[in-house]
Amino acid sequence: MKENQEVLFGLYDDETELLEAVKQAKAEHLDIMDVYTPFPVHGLDPILGLEESRLHIAGFIFGALGTLTAFLFMTWVFTRDWPVIFGGKPYWSVPAFIPITFELTVLFAAIGMVVTFYTICGLGPGVTNPVLDERISDDKFCLAFQTNGASNDSINSLKGFLQRTGASEVHQKVI
């Protein structure tokens, strides 16, 4: 499916121009495919209407899993599986379990969140995603529209929109 995606995109030189353009596109109800920038642009998410990321929920769940794993496992080992007295302490020595419980909480949360992040973004080792323009990771700010099956008129009007809003370059690409 990806092979025949037709994309019309404009490159802007500055993030403020891009922000204005996205705002106008939204106002004109244009269907934005995506916006690509060299760095996270402050204030772009609300204009695009992106919902807040829910990664922290994943982090919480993984973290809680880590807490339980560590604490229950140590409890099981020292009260059921192989109880040993260390230094005259009770079998179930809660204060001594806290450091490892904490560490595993953090470890599970971090690994879980990072894996979730790359999975939901469709990124990962060896993944190749089409790059619209190689300068997007440098200093260009890109606003892209999908034009599959669009009429010449509508493509032209999109082109006009991009030029009107200050895009320094407008290109068409099939990816």
Residues 101-140 that bind another protein (CB under 8 A): 102-104, 106-107, 109-111, 113-114, 117-118, 120-132, 134-139
Nearest distance, CB of residue 124 and another protein, angstroms: 5
d(CA 133, CA 36): 10
Question: Does 64 engage in binding with another protein (CB under 8 A)?
Answer: no
Question: Does 45 engage in binding with another protein (CB under 8 A)?
Answer: yes
Cβ contacts of 7 within 8 Å, gap of 6 or more: 33, 132, 144, 145, 146, 147, 172, 173, 174, 175
Nearest distance, CB of residue 134 and another protein, angstroms: 4
In angstroms, the Cα distances linking 168 to 12, 50, 172 are 6, 26, 14
Segment 72 to 101, residues that bind another protein, using CB under 8 A: 74, 77-78, 81-82, 84, 86-90, 93, 95-100
